[in-house]
Amino acid sequence: MFRPDDCVGEFVHEGSGLTLGLPHMGFRQAVAAGAKTLVLGVASAGGVLTDELIADAEAALNAGLDIASGLHGRLRDIPKLADLAKSNGCKLIDVRDPVMDLKVGTGVRRAGRRLLTVGTDCSVGKMVATLCIERAMQARGHVADFRATGQTGIMIAGAGVPVDAVIADFISGAIEQLAPERTDDGWDLIEGQGSLFHPSFAGVSMGLLHGAQPSAIVICHEPTRQHMRGLPHYSMPSLERTIAANLEQARLTSPDVVAVGVAVNTSMLEQDEARALCEEIAETTGLPCVDPYAQGADPIIDRIEQCFAISRPSMSLSA
Amino acid sequence: MFRPDDCVGEFVHEGSGLTLGLPHMGFRQAVAAGAKTLVLGVASAGGVLTDELIADAEAALNAGLDIASGLHGRLRDIPKLADLAKSNGCKLIDVRDPVMDLKVGTGVRRAGRRLLTVGTDCSVGKMVATLCIERAMQARGHVADFRATGQTGIMIAGAGVPVDAVIADFISGAIEQLAPERTDDGWDLIEGQGSLFHPSFAGVSMGLLHGAQPSAIVICHEPTRQHMRGLPHYSMPSLERTIAANLEQARLTSPDVVAVGVAVNTSMLEQDEARALCEEIAETTGLPCVDPYAQGADPIIDRIEQCFAISRPSMSLSA
C-alpha cells in the first residue's frame, strides 16, 4: 500500500478476501519475478506463529526466499525453519527483535517537534494515518519522518522499534531513542499503538505517549467498531473522552501538547456517510476530521501549520 | 526484614549504612553457618550488574554459594560467573526471568477480592506496605496472600512475576495470571510498581493496575521525597491527585474499586512528626493513614472490613 515499488507480488490463501492489489503468485514464480523475501503480513492475537504460517514459511524457504516476520513467536525458534534456512542459505528475519541497546526513559524535555497518533482502540488506522500525514507534509515541502513502532510499520520504514515487544521497563525509553532530540525544524511522526482504554495494552500506549513527548496528537478512530478489539465485554470510549485522556496523560512529559486532528478509517462506510460523519466529528470536537487515506490529510496539516505558526515551504511553487 | 528465619547472615561492604540487622559475615563463614545462596539485594537503575557485584558473586561462588539476582542484567550472561558456577557445581538464579507462559490480558471480570498498592512514586514502600497488610490481615484470621511483582518481593515470597521484566504486550496479562480468579473468600494482596506519574515507568504501573482488577487500592507515599525518583526535573504529584488518577484508571477493569488507606513511609521523620503527618493526611483524604511498618496496618484493615462488610474471623478469640 505504501511501498508498492518494493514488492513484486502477493501470496494469498484461497478464500482470503484480503489483497494489496499486487499480482498473485506462488513462491517459485515470485523468485523468478525477482522476489528475495517473503513478508508474513499477518498479526495474530498474542503474535503466535500458527502451523499454517510455518507451512507457508517452509514452502517459501524451499523456493529460496528469505522470511521476515513481525510476530512475537520467533522464526528462529522453530527448529524445522531454522534447519531449512541454514541448508538453503536463506535468512530468517524476526522484525520484533528490538535492535537497540535500550535505556530507561528520563522524560527530559528534548528539542524538536513530534506528532503521535493515538486511538480509541487498537487497529483503527494509526499506522496508515501516520504514513498519510508524512506523505501530505512532505508534499508541502515540510521535513517529516515516519517513526515506526510496530512490526508492519518497521517493515515499511525499514527501521523502528517494536514497542510492544520491548521489556516493560523500557517502553518510554525506547521511544525516546526512536525519536531523539531534533534541531532541523523537521517533524518526527510517531506511529501510535493500542489505546489508553484497551485493558490488554493500555500500559504500552501510556509508555509510548510519555516517551513520545508529543507536540501534537492526532486521534484515530474506526466508527463501525462495536467493542474494544477482541473484547466483546468492553465498549468503545467516545472520541471526546479519548482526546481528553490522551492530552491529560501526554501533559506529564509535554505540557503544551495540542490535538490537531481526528483521522477516521471510513473503509466500512459509503462515501456520503463518511463525509457526513467527518463533518459531524469536526463540529463536536472542534478539530479537522478526515479519512486521511481516502480523502488526504490536508486539513490536519493546515491545523498543524496554524498551531505551530509554520509556513508552507512549497507554497510559492504550488500557488 | 520479612523472612529473617530464612537467612543466616548478611554480607555488607565497608562504609554501607544499610543493614537487615542480621549477623555480618564473609562468604566462607556464611557457608559454615549453613548458608546455601547469596541473594544480591541491590537494585540499580536500569538493573545493571556492576563490576563490584560481579566480583562479590565470584567470591561467593568460590565459597560454594549459589547466587540469586533480581537485576535485568543476567548472571548467566557473564561468562566468568557461568564458568565458575559450572566448575563449582553452584546455581545462578535470575529471579527476573518471567517463569510463566505469558498471555495477553483480557480484562474479563474475575471472582475474588484483590488489593493493590499504588504510589506517588517508585520506591516509596509499596512492597513493605503490602507485606504489612498481609501480616495484619492474617493476624485477624483473614485469608490473605502477598503476590509479588518485583525481584525483592519474589525472593521474599518465593514466587511471583517480575512485571517490569515481561514483554510490554503482556503486562496486564501477567498480573491476571499472578492473581487469577479466587473463590475462597481470601484476598490477593498485589505488590504495586512505579507510579502513574513517573515518566520512565508509568506504562508498567498502568498495565499492572488494569491487570490487577483491584477491589481496593492503598496509596503509598514517602513524604520527604523532593522529586520523582531519579528525575530532579519532575515534581511529586499530590496524594489527592494520585488517589484520583489511580481510581479513574482502575475503573476501566474494576468499576467498583475503592481506596482504603494511605501508607506513609516515615522512616525519615521523627515519631511525633510522623504521627502528626498521618493525622493530617487522614483528615484531608478521608482515608486511614499509617506507617504500616512502624505503626501496624490495623486502621487500614478496619476500613477494608467496613467497605467489604467482612467480619473479623478471629474476633471471638481475641476479645
Q: Give residue A5's pLDDT.
A: 80
ipTM of the complex: 0.86
Residues B265-315 pLDDT 10s: 999 999 999 999 999 999 999 999 999 999 999 999 999 999 998 877 755
Q: Which residue has the higher pLDDT, B148 or A19?
A: B148
The per-residue pLDDT for B16 is 76
**Chain A environment of B173 (Cβ under 8 Å):** 200
β-pairing, B216-221 vs B113-119, is parallel
Q: What percent of chain B has pLDDT over 70?
A: 96
What is the C-alpha to C-alpha distance for residues A86 and A44, in angstroms, rounded to an integer?
26
Residue B186's alpha-carbon distances to B128, B219, B250, B313, in angstroms, are 20, 21, 21, 12
CA gap A71, A94 in Å, rounded: 8
Burial class from Cβ neighbours inside 10 Å (0-12, 13-18, 19+) for residue B24 reads: exposed
* pLDDT score recorded for residue A1: 62
- How confident is the model at residue A16, as a pLDDT? 77
Residues facing A40 on adjacent strands: A69
* Average pLDDT score, chain B: 93
The list of chain A residues with pLDDT below 50 reads 316-319
The string of pLDDT tens digits covering residues B151-195 is 899 989 989 999 999 999 999 999 999 999 999 999 999 999 999
pLDDT band with cut points at 50, 70 and 90 for residue B318: very low
A242/A246 Cα distance (integer angstroms): 6
Q: How confident is the model at residue B20 (pLDDT cuts 50, 70, 90)?
A: confident
Looking at CA atoms only, how far is residue A74 from chain B in angstroms? 14
The answer to whether B4-94 and B113-318 have equal CATH topology is yes
- Residues of chain B found within 8 Å of residue A46, distances taken between Cβ atoms: 103-104
B49 band by pLDDT with thresholds 50, 70 and 90: confident
Residue B45 has pLDDT above 90, yes or no: no
Residues of B in contact with A231 (CB under 8 A): 106-107
Output B20 or A55, whichever has higher pLDDT. Answer: A55
Q: Which residues of B touch A199 (CB under 8 A)?
A: 105-107, 172, 210, 252-253
How high is the pLDDT of residue B310? 83
Inter-chain residue contact A202 with B252, CB threshold 8 Å: yes
Are B220 and B191 in contact by the 8 Å Cβ rule? The answer is no
Q: With respect to CATH, is domain B4-94 assigned 2.60.40.1080?
A: no
* Amino acid code (one letter) for A65: L
The residues of B whose Cβ lies within 8 A of any Cβ of A are 45-47, 72, 103-109, 163-169, 171-173, 196-197, 199-208, 210, 231, 233-234, 249, 252-253
Q: Where are the domains of chain B?
A: 4-94, 113-318
| 3-class DSSP string for chain A | CCCHHHCCCECCCCCCCCCCCCCECCHHHHHHCCCCEEEECCCCHHHCCCHHHHHHHHHHHHCCCEEEECCCCCHHHCHHHHHHHHHHCCCEEECCCCCCCCCCCCCCCCCCEEEEEEECCCCCCHHHHHHHHHHHHHHCCCCEEEECCCHHHHHHHCCCCCHHHCEHHHHHHHHHHHCCCCCCCCEEEECCCCCCCCCCCHHHHHHHHHHHCCCEEEEEECCCCCCCCCCCCCCCCCHHHHHHHHHHHHCCCCCCCEEEEEEECCCCCCHHHHHHHHHHHHHHHCCCEECHHHHCCHHHHHHHHHHCCCCCCCHHHHC
A113-318 CATH, one of 3.10.20.30, 3.60.110.10, 3.40.50.300, 3.30.420.10:
3.40.50.300
Q: What confidence score (pLDDT) does residue B1 get?
A: 62
B75-102 average pLDDT score: 88
User: A46 and B207: CB-CB below 8 Å?
Assistant: no
- Going by pLDDT thresholds of 50, 70 and 90, the confidence category of residue B316 is very low
